[in-house]
């Protein structure tokens, strides 16, 4: 609800943009790591497919997109590129926070 306040949104975008990054994918990774926990990331994907929640409709999507626009190295990003980078980030969610090791361990014990 606070992201509806333009002044607050502007300050959040400035803070998130300060995360930096050398490419759209790199900047997106760095920003999302600060914004969303690995557990919460498991509940979302970009477009809400496969029973997950839709990140594209959240104001947080606008925070990331506007932050990418503010970063000198990613300022030419378009909507499609931002969506693609975020989709890629969400697709790796199940391997974050030690979950990859847990998946590998489960696979070994089930053999």
pLDDT at 99: 57
Higher pLDDT, 107 or 41: 41
pLDDT confidence band for 103 (50 / 70 / 90): low
Question: Does residue 93 sit in helix, strand or coil?
Answer: helix
Give the tens place of pLDDT for each residue, 35-91: 999 999 999 999 999 999 999 999 999 999 999 999 999 999 999 999 999 999 999
pLDDT confidence band for 15 (50 / 70 / 90): very high
pLDDT confidence band for 2 (50 / 70 / 90): confident
pLDDT at 111: 62
Domain that holds residue 97: 2-110
Q: How many domains does the chain have?
A: 1
């Amino acid at each position: 609800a606070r992201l509806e306040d333009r002044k607050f949104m502007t300050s959040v975008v400035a803070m998130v943009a300060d995360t930096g990054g050398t490419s759209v994918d790199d900047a997106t990774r760095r920003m999302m790591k600060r914004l969303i926990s690995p557990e919460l990331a498991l509940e979302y994907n970009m477009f809400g497919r496969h029973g997950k929640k839709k990140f594209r409709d959240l104001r947080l999507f606008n925070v990331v997109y506007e932050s990418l626009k503010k970063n000198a190295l990613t300022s030419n990003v378009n909507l499609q590129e931002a969506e693609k980078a975020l989709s890629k980030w969400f697709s790796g969610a199940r391997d974050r926070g030690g979950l990859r090791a847990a998946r590998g361990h489960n696979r070994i014990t089930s053999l």
